[in-house]
Amino acid sequence: MEKGKLRIGVLFDEIMIPLWSYKMIEAIKSKQYCELILALRNKPEKKSKKNTFEKISKYSEAGLFWIWSMIDKRLSEYSPDAFEPKNLKDLLSADTTYISIQMNNDHLNESELEAIKKYKLDILIRIGFSPCNKKLTKVARFGIWSFNQFENDLIKEGPAGIREVLQGTDETEIILQTTIGNRKKAIFLDKTSFSTDCFSINRNRNNYYWKALSIMPIKIQELHHLGEELFFEKVKALNKRPNFNSKKEYSTPTNKEMLTYAPKLIFQKIKNKIDFTFHYYQWILMFGLGSTNKISTEYSRFQKMIPPKDRFWADPFVISRNGKYYIFIEELIYKENKGYICLIEMDELGNYTEPVKVLEQNYHLSYPFLIEDNGELYMIPESKQNNTIELYKCTNFPLKWELEKVLMNNIKAVDSTILFKDNKYWLFCNITQSPGPSAQDELCLFYSDTLISDTWKSHPLNPIVSDFKKSRPAGKLFSYKNKLYRPSQNGLKHYGYGMKINQVIELNETTYKEKEVDSIYPEWDDHIIATHTLNSADNLTIIDARIRRKKQNKILKRARGMAYNTSLLFYKLKTNLMLQTLSLKWPMVDLLVSSLFYELV
């Protein structure tokens, strides 16, 4: 394929399309290598009005689901709304042709088909949920691109992102496929997934479509970058493997199914509410001191560094100097809800000082990545809230830091991590490219000849990793036995659940390849539910971990006070003749009251 512009068409049902698809078309249209040629609307057939009985009948089998969905929508909070209606015509330019025809199998005739073929489309993007005429699969060179919940199926209609919540599945998958010509099965193009929101159907659906938004532009970019031959060689290799589908076909859950699912969801929500009433979750630090200069991996032997209950410590980065370890962390006081950077000093025996604040701004700071360059020490704390990637220089070690350079502006990047390799600086970071998707999802790579630069070049394969289970950085890259590894966060069950260790196979200006070689799960301690940063220097390895702690809240204090007053009353009544008599007959009464009183005191 020549490196000309890709001719894009859009197939849709209504001119008012959901916000997620509007943003997707807008992103595609903004690319220099794409041009929106045709907007093809599926003109609906005239349908006879349904009587009241038919309307009731339509919802009778799934009435409980619709009721549940309405209640869930009122109780759930999410923003922005992926389904906010937007007018597609706002994106159509003077060069875009708008056609409205009926596209079901009965009405699309050969003359209309030939008229559409004249636009010589490369890709026809399908938005909406109405099945389209199979004849249309011949009008675009690379077929009709659409999203699905199953691989290699032409049409599997049904509400996406719902059954994963009801069934308690950890992740929700999104499939990008194309249908070309008379093929019986769709061609699998790509797959991504995100962590299922286990408490809300509507939030999970919202997340589904915001996540789907980015896949289509990425694959179109890849098609243009690689060219037709190389692109479809990769696609062919993907479709050679066997495809086993053990999932239930998507459809609106029936009343019978909802009677099974709803109690589980209600129980889970009640359990979660009770848990957060009596407990809270806190990030702490853990460290291990080895005898040699290598990363310690025996986490069950690590010592805990637990902050006061009003704050957390996370994202530890460490540097060794003059027989001491200098640990830079994010500290966040809950009532302030804004992170800043602190320093903890540790000796070779593991004795450490209280944290000292070294860097604070009027916006949130975290993930204080450290890098030494030309004899100077620099820090790149996460400053997503300020829409920047900032480089700070240490002007008086270790306490004084000053802004040296804003490396990037107008960017929502998290956990920027730099590697110096082959005389270039490689900057890894996760970027939120639209308002809906999580920062967990897409890892991007930039490179520069110098560290202090504001002209970082984007890697042509960006995002180089699109997987919430292993994209987001979890600390600096490290070498082990002459091989390079990138630690990454695993957000499968929840944010910061665990880590993946990925071996970097190839890294240059045109290619990036890595493979997963190991996983770290928070299983060595029953009180730990997450760990998401790993760093080391000399003999010290340090991680963070999230633990569950009891709250000292008003409800607990009141209950404890009532129990105390009750036991005190009974204890005083022991002098009463009747209680003394009972105690003589049943010594256990006296023992129970006395032990309860002394326990509460």
Interval 167-205: pLDDT, tens: 888 888 888 999 887 766 788 999 888 889 888 999 999
Q: Are residue 213 and residue 355 in the same domain, yes or no?
A: no
Q: Are residue 56 and residue 194 in the same domain, yes or no?
A: yes
At 378 the pLDDT is 98
Position 118 pLDDT exceeds 60 = yes
Q: How big is the chain by its Cα radius of gyration, in Å?
A: 29
pLDDT grade for 51, boundaries at 50, 70 and 90:
low
User: Which is more confident, 335 or 551?
Assistant: 335
Q: Are residue 511 and residue 558 in the same domain, yes or no?
A: no
Mean pLDDT of 387-407: 98
Domain end, chosen from 253, 281, 301, is at 253
The answer as to whether 260 is a domain residue is: no
CATH number at residue 170: 3.40.50.170
CB-CB contact of 534 with 477 (8 Å): no
User: Which is more confident, 43 or 405?
Assistant: 405
Position 162 pLDDT exceeds 80 = yes
Mean pLDDT of 561-566: 60
Q: Are residue 242 and residue 287 in the same domain, yes or no?
A: no
Judged by average pLDDT, the poorest of 63-67, 74-78, 152-156, 161-165 is 152-156
If you search the block for the tokens 């960006």, which residue do you land on? Answer: 462
Nearest-angstrom CA–CA distance, 338 and 329: 13
At 597 the pLDDT is 45
Mean pLDDT of 558-566: 59
Q: Are residue 590 and residue 570 in the same domain, yes or no?
A: yes
Residue 201 belongs to what domain range?
6-253
Domain end, chosen from 525, 550, 575, is at 550
Interval 432-462: pLDDT, tens: 876 666 777 889 999 999 999 999 999 998 9
Judged by average pLDDT, the poorest of 72-86, 355-369, 576-590 is 576-590
At 596 the pLDDT is 46
Interval 338-380: pLDDT, tens: 999 999 999 999 999 999 999 999 999 999 999 999 999 999 9
Query: In this structure, how many other beta carbons lie within 10 angstroms of the beta carbon of residue 585?
Result: 8
Arithmetic mean of pLDDT over the chain: 85
The answer as to whether 67 is a domain residue is: yes
Nearest-angstrom CA–CA distance, 411 and 427: 14
The answer as to whether 262 is a domain residue is: no
Query: In this structure, how many other beta carbons lie within 10 angstroms of the beta carbon of residue 184?
Result: 8
pLDDT grade for 133, boundaries at 50, 70 and 90:
low
Position 220 pLDDT exceeds 90 = yes
pLDDT grade for 101, boundaries at 50, 70 and 90:
confident
Q: Are residue 460 and residue 569 in the same domain, yes or no?
A: no
Q: Minimal CA–CA distance to 443: which of 419, 424, 459?
A: 459
At 577 the pLDDT is 47
At 254 the pLDDT is 86
pLDDT grade for 576, boundaries at 50, 70 and 90:
low
At 601 the pLDDT is 40
Q: Minimal CA–CA distance to 557: which of 278, 298, 338, 168?
A: 278
What distance separates the 2 farthest-apart alpha carbons in the chain? 105
At 482 the pLDDT is 93
pLDDT grade for 155, boundaries at 50, 70 and 90:
very low
Nearest-angstrom CA–CA distance, 59 and 76: 23
User: Which is more confident, 49 or 538?
Assistant: 538
Q: Are residue 496 and residue 576 in the same domain, yes or no?
A: no
How many residues make up the chain in this entry? 601
CB-CB contact of 19 with 80 (8 Å): yes
Position 396 pLDDT exceeds 50 = yes
The answer as to whether 231 is a domain residue is: yes
Q: Minimal CA–CA distance to 340: which of 319, 323, 315, 321?
A: 315
The answer as to whether 421 is a domain residue is: yes
Position 309 pLDDT exceeds 90 = yes
Q: Are residue 243 and residue 384 in the same domain, yes or no?
A: no
Position 115 pLDDT exceeds 80 = yes
CB-CB contact of 68 with 40 (8 Å): no
DSSP state for residue 574 in the 8-state scheme: G
Position 56 pLDDT exceeds 80 = no
Domain count, the chain: 3
At 552 the pLDDT is 72
Position 430 pLDDT exceeds 80 = yes
Mean pLDDT of 270-288: 90
CB-CB contact of 168 with 211 (8 Å): no
The tokens describing 49, both together, are: 């009005």
Q: Are residue 189 and residue 228 in the same domain, yes or no?
A: yes
CATH number at residue 392: 2.115.10.20
Q: Are residue 524 and residue 565 in the same domain, yes or no?
A: no
Mean pLDDT of 36-52: 73
The answer as to whether 267 is a domain residue is: no
CB-CB contact of 175 with 266 (8 Å): no
The answer as to whether 595 is a domain residue is: yes
Nearest-angstrom CA–CA distance, 218 and 231: 12
User: Which is more confident, 589 or 300?
Assistant: 300
Mean pLDDT of 6-30: 93
| Opening angle at CA 505, ends 499 and 508, nearest 5 | 115
How many Å separate Cα 81 from the centre of its chain?
Answer: 17
Q: Are residue 157 and residue 56 in the same domain, yes or no?
A: yes
pLDDT grade for 42, boundaries at 50, 70 and 90:
confident
Nearest-angstrom CA–CA distance, 559 and 248: 47
pLDDT grade for 321, boundaries at 50, 70 and 90:
very high
If you search the block for the tokens 């880590």, which residue do you land on? Answer: 499
The answer as to whether 455 is a domain residue is: yes
Q: Are residue 568 and residue 521 in the same domain, yes or no?
A: no
When mean pLDDT is compared over 47-56, 186-195, 589-598, the highest value belongs to 186-195
Interval 475-515: pLDDT, tens: 999 999 999 999 999 998 888 999 999 999 999 999 999 99
